[in-house]
Amino acid sequence: MFEKNNKKRLYWLMDEFLLRRIDARTFCNEYYYCYDLELDSDLLDNKEKKAFAELSIVVNRFSEFEEDLLKYPGTYFTEKQLREKMNTTIIFLSKSNSSFC
């Protein structure tokens, strides 16, 4: 595991979530603490800044509650949408990054 201010933690969290070692809520909470609160964005290259910022929007608007999704359509994201965004993020980052070998 990596410290919360280490960008490698973001990659590790994505791996753990996609491998189903952590659930969506845990992933979102840990991603928020790492990316939004602890990480110095100067440690990210431009591609990472773009990818992680876009993923953060989905992470911060994820809801595991069906009533949220029904009551406020288009406001929250489902776990399926979170996984889809994460997959596109990984593909985008892997084109020039060896962290996802």
For residue 95, give the CATH number of its domain. Answer: 1.20.120
What is the distance between the alpha carbons of residues 83 and 36, in angstroms, rounded to a whole number? 19
Q: What is the pLDDT, as a whole number, of residue 101?
A: 44
Is 14 within 8 Å of 20 (Cβ atoms)? no
pLDDT (tens, 9 = 90+) of the chain, 101 residues, equals: 788 888 999 999 999 999 999 999 999 999 999 999 999 999 999 999 999 999 999 999 999 999 999 999 999 999 999 999 999 999 999 986 655 54
Exposure string (b/e) for 62-100, b if CB count within 10 Å is 16 or more?
A: bbeeeeebeeeeeebbbbeebeebbeebbebbeeeeeee
Domain assignment of residue 36, yes or no = yes
Q: What is the pLDDT, as a whole number, of residue 60?
A: 97
Q: What is the pLDDT, as a whole number, of residue 5?
A: 82
Which residues lie across from 77 on neighbouring strands? 62
Domain count, the chain: 1
What is the distance between the alpha carbons of residues 62 and 79, in angstroms, rounded to a whole number? 7
Domain assignment of residue 53, yes or no = yes
Domain assignment of residue 19, yes or no = yes
Domain assignment of residue 1, yes or no = no
Q: Is-above-0.75 flag for pTM?
A: yes
Domain assignment of residue 3, yes or no = no
Q: Which domain holds residue 50?
A: 8-100
Is 6 within 8 Å of 40 (Cβ atoms)? no
Q: What is the pLDDT, as a whole number, of residue 96?
A: 66
